[in-house]
């Protein structure tokens, strides 16, 4: 971008007693939440399940969560942003023993 740009952002307050959950996915995979949706009552529990694409694997959680267990039980004591990281599986290592001769 080589010129000035103008942008407008609109922010809305959450309803009282409500938290928000934003999930950012990095890499080849997806995340499902139970219960689904972005808004959850304060002190509720949300289960996040990471599902890698074929030939990929789940690396772990970041942001307001940590570890690499899936599913993850998340207590919604405050609004949260969680990152789920996935990576492509590498090529398998094949070892063959040859006799010299």
Determine, yes or no, domain membership for 68: yes
**Whole-prediction pTM value?**
0.79
Number of domains the chain contains: 1
What is the DSSP secondary-structure string of 26-90? Answer: ESSEEEEEES-SSEEETTEEEEEEEEEPTTEEEEEEEES--SS-SSEEEEESS-EEEEEEEEE--
Give the pLDDT of residue 42.
97
Determine, yes or no, domain membership for 100: no
Specify the length of the chain in residues.
101
Cα–Cα distances (Å) from 69 to 43, 45, 74, in that order, read 21, 16, 12
Determine, yes or no, domain membership for 6: no
Determine, yes or no, domain membership for 11: no
Q: What is the pLDDT of residues 25-67, one digit of tens each?
A: 999 999 999 999 999 999 999 999 999 999 999 999 999 999 9
Determine, yes or no, domain membership for 60: yes
Domain coverage including residue 66:
18-88
């Amino acid at each position: 971008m080589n010129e000035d740009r103008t942008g407008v952002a609109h922010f809305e307050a959450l309803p009282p007693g409500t938290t928000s959950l934003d999930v950012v996915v990095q890499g080849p995979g997806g995340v499902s939440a139970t219960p689904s949706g972005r808004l959850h009552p304060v002190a509720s529990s949300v289960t996040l399940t990471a599902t890698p694409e074929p030939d990929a694997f789940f690396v772990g959680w970041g942001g307001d969560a940590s570890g690499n267990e899936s599913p993850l039980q998340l207590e919604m004591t405050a609004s949260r942003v969680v990152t789920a990281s996935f990576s492509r599986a590498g090529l398998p290592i094949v070892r063959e023993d040859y006799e010299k001769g």
